[in-house]
Amino acid sequence: MPFWQSLVPAILQEMSDERVELGHAIFSLMQPHAGHELAWNRWYERDHLIAAGSLAPYTMATQRWLATAPHKAIREPRQNPIANPSESGTFLATMWIQKNHLADQQAWVAEQMKRLAEQGRTYEERDVLFAGTWDYLGGALRDPDGVPPELVLDHRYSGLVLTWLECSPGQSLEELRDALLHDALPDRLENSAVAQALCFTPLPKSDWWPKAAPEVPGVGVRILVACFVESDPLDIWQTDFADLGKALEDRTRGRSLLIAPFVPVVPGVDPDIAQL
């Protein structure tokens, strides 16, 4: 009997009728130390993101983003609890994870991180602004038959704008979520360059996460809105994002903490350090 036929029973045993569905994410915002930008970028994209991320079971997609000096200059507000100082946080990594399998994905990553550390495959010349896991709360799509949220990272949109919101006193996370998904975001996306806005809420930091990763603020009271746009956010900032914080506050009663634009990192291409 051919070898592959002996594997059929095991393969069938692992199959299920579970559909591909976005359920969780990882967002990591990093700042390499001065003079280490290129080396850190190469290490992260050519080793770490693959070995400790995209190879993990139940990882659906990954993508990296970049905030150049002009992108960081228009972050609002300048004083904020996310990027402090506002010029920090140049590189962003995003990762989509299959619904109901975050624990499976993280268990694999935890073991892999131990092996990578033993092999000396770490890079310490960077600051971690935040790094952690998030639950997907739902999204608002501009187009009735547009790109599914599961394929957003693979679609390679031209820009990403992250907006952090926090519940106002007496407001629940569910109330803030519903105000975003059923009111504020659908109206905002109509006839705009924003193709979709996906909402996530942070989860507590797992014990195994590296010490460099800070504790996670805002658990149970914050929502991160990831707006995927079809152009460089700089080109549409005044028309689509300059008033976004106030507009969302007015429509949701939440408090806007930071609005920050990014553009994609081109894999295998060194970023222009002079632009950072």
CATH at residue 103: 3.30.70
In a domain, 10, yes or no: no
d(CA 191, CA 172): 30
- Give the per-residue pLDDT at 206: 78
- Give the per-residue pLDDT at 32: 96
Contact 39, 119 (CB under 8 A): no
In a domain, 62, yes or no: yes
In a domain, 131, yes or no: yes
Distance, first Cα to last Cα, the chain? 59
> 10 Å Cβ neighbour count for 91?
24
Range of the domain at 35: 21-266
Strand 126-141 versus strand 159-166 pairing type: unpaired
In a domain, 193, yes or no: yes
Number of domains in the chain: 1
- Give the per-residue pLDDT at 1: 46
In a domain, 258, yes or no: yes
In a domain, 8, yes or no: no
Peptide bond into 261 cis (omega under 30): no
Query: What mean pLDDT, rounded, does the chain reach?
Result: 92
Q: Which residue stretches of the chain have pLDDT < 50?
A: 1-8, 10-11
In a domain, 52, yes or no: yes
In a domain, 5, yes or no: no
CB-count exposure of residue 158 (10 Å: 0-12, 13-18, 19+): middle
Q: Which helix (H) or strand (E) holds 229?
A: strand 222-229
